[in-house]
Amino acid sequence: MNELKQYFYFLIIPLIVIAIYFLNPADIFVNGNELSFVSILISCFMIEYFIQKSKNGEDIYLRPIPAMKAMEEAVGRATEMGSSVLYVPGIAGLDEIDTISGVIILGHVAGMTAEYESDLHVPCCVPIVMEAARESCKEAYLKKGRPDLYNDRMVHYVTDDQFAYAAGVNGIMLREKPAAIFYQGKFYAESLILAETGNSVGAIQVAGTGSSSQIPFFVTACDYVLIGEEFYAASAYLSGSPEMIGSIKGQDYVKLLCMLFIGAVFLFSIFNYFEIFTFDMMTLFKINIEGYSVN
C-alpha cells in the first residue's frame, strides 16, 4: 500500500468525518456524546489500519502465548493414549463474544483432531452455538481433507440449563475419560464442577475465557489458562486470518492510547489543582444523550 493512499485513508478521512460531526449540518447528529463518537471513530480507524496492513502481507509481530503451545501438546497426548478430546464451548449464546472466540478455537482444535485422527466430542448448551460449532467443525475437517471423519454426532445439544449441562458434561467425562479437555468460551459458576471432574479424570486441561470471575478456578484446577484478552488474542492467532491478527494489533495500540489518556487525565487533575493549567477534563466526559427522547 503506497504511502500516499495510506495517509489519505487513515488520516484525512477520519479528520473530515470529525469535522462534519462537529459542524453538525442540519442537526443530523445528536449532541451530548461527542467523546464517545470521537473515541469510537479513532479506535475503529486504528483497527482498520492494522487490518489493511496485515492484509497486505506485512508481517506483524505478536508475542507468543504459553497456553497456545499447550493445545497442540494436549491433542497429541490424547491421540497417543487413544482417548478422545472433549471441547466445552461455554454456556452462553452467540451474542456473547467469548462464545464466538470459543467456536473459532474449536475450528482450530477440530483441525488438529482431524490431522491426528482422534475423536472429538463437543457438548453444547445453546442451540445456536451447536449449529455454529457444527459448521466450524465441518469446515475444519474439510480444510484438512478428512470430511469422512466428521459426523454430526460429535457436536450435540445437552440442555439450556446451566447446571443440567454441567452434570451432563460431567457424565461424559466420567464415561469417556478424555485425555485432553478444552474449556473455551463464556463460563459461569459451573466451571469448577467441570474443572474438578476433569482434574479427577487426569486430563490435560486448557481453559480460556473472558468471564473474569471464573479465571481463578481455571487457574487453580487447569494446567494452562488464557486470561481474558489472551483468550481473544489466541482466537486471532488460531484463525490466522489477517483481519483477526490485524485487529489484535489495533487493539494493542488503542490500549496504548487508553494508557496515555489515563496519564493525561491524571496529570491534568494535578495541574488543575495547582492552577498551572486550568482546563477541567471532566466536562469532556458526558455520555448521555440530551434533548432527544423517543416517546
Partner 1 sequence: MILNLDIIGVWLSVLMTLCILSYLYGDNPFYKIAEHIFVGVSAGYIFALTWWDQIWPNLFGRLFPSYVDAGFDFSPSYIIPLILGIFMLFRLIPSLSWLARFPIAFIVGMAAGLKVYVYINSNILMQIQNSAIDFSKSGWEIFNHILILVGVISALVYFFFSKEHKGAIGTVSKIGIYFLMIKFGASFGFAVMGRISLLIGRFEDLINYSSEQYNYATPIILISMIILLGIWSFQNNKSEKNN
Partner 2 sequence: MFIKRQLAIIVMMSMGFLALSGYFLNFPTLREFTDKDAPQWYMIIAGFAAFLGCVNLLQLHIQKVAKKQENWQYSIFTLLGFLVMIVFGFIYKNVDAPWGAHLKDDGSAFYWMYNFVYLPLGSTMFALLAFFVASASYRAFRMRNFEATLLLISGVLLMLGRVPVGAIIPWWVVLFMYISFIFAIIASKIKDKRIFFISFLSTNIIGLVLGTQLKWNITAPLFLSIPSIQEWIMAVPATAGSRAIMIGIALGILAQSFRIITGRERSILGD
Partner 3 sequence: MKRFFTIVGTIDRRIIFLLIGLSVLIPLIKPNWLELPIKIDNNTQIVYDSISGLQEGDKVLLSFEYGASTKPEVHPMAVALLKHLFAKGIKVYIVSLWPEGPIMAKLAMDEIIASDLFNIEDGKDYIMFDYKVGGSIVIKNISDDFRGIYKQDYNRIPIEQLQIMEGVYSVEDFDFVFDFSAGVPGNAEWVQYACDPKDVPLSSGCTSIMVTDAIPYVESGQLKGILAGMPGAAEYEKMVYDYLTNELTNNNEYINENASITKGKAFSRMSAQSVAHLVMVIFILLGNLSYYYQRKRG
For 202, residues 6+ apart whose C-beta sits below 8 A from its C-beta are: 177
| Closer CB to partner 1, 75 or 172, in the complex | 172
- Report the site for partner 1 in 14-53 (rule: CB under 8 A): 33, 35-36, 39-40, 43
List the one residue from 2, 148, 212, 291 that touches partner 1 (CB under 8 A).
Answer: 212
**Residue 61 site contact among partner 1, partner 3, partner 2, none (CB < 5 to 8 Å, cut-off depends on kind):** partner 1
d(CA 169, CA 202): 15
d(CA 29, CA 40): 15
Examine residue 43 and tell whether it contacts partner 3 (CB under 8 A): no
Examine residue 199 and tell whether it contacts partner 1 (CB under 8 A): no
* Contact status, residue 67 vs residue 225, Cβ threshold 8 Å: yes
Longest dimension (CA), the chain: 73
Reported as half-sphere exposure (CB side, CA atoms, 13 A), residue 143 has a value of: 14
| Closer CB to partner 2, 113 or 191, in the complex | 191
List the one residue from 1, 20, 58, 220 that touches partner 2 (CB under 8 A).
Answer: 220
| Closer CB to partner 2, 79 or 173, in the complex | 173
| Closer CB to partner 1, 285 or 292, in the complex | 285
**Residue 188 site contact among partner 3, partner 2, partner 1, none (CB < 5 to 8 Å, cut-off depends on kind):** partner 3
Angle (CA) 172-178-179 rounded to 5° is: 160
Element at 209 (helix H, strand E)? strand 204-209
* Contact status, residue 205 vs residue 222, Cβ threshold 8 Å: yes
Examine residue 263 and tell whether it contacts partner 2 (CB under 8 A): no
Examine residue 76 and tell whether it contacts partner 2 (CB under 8 A): no
List the one residue from 58, 80, 117, 135 that touches partner 2 (CB under 8 A).
Answer: 135
Angle between helices 13-23 and 34-55 (to 10 degrees): 160
Positions in the binding site for partner 3 (CB under 8 A): 92, 95-96, 162-163, 188-189, 200, 212-213, 287-289, 293-295
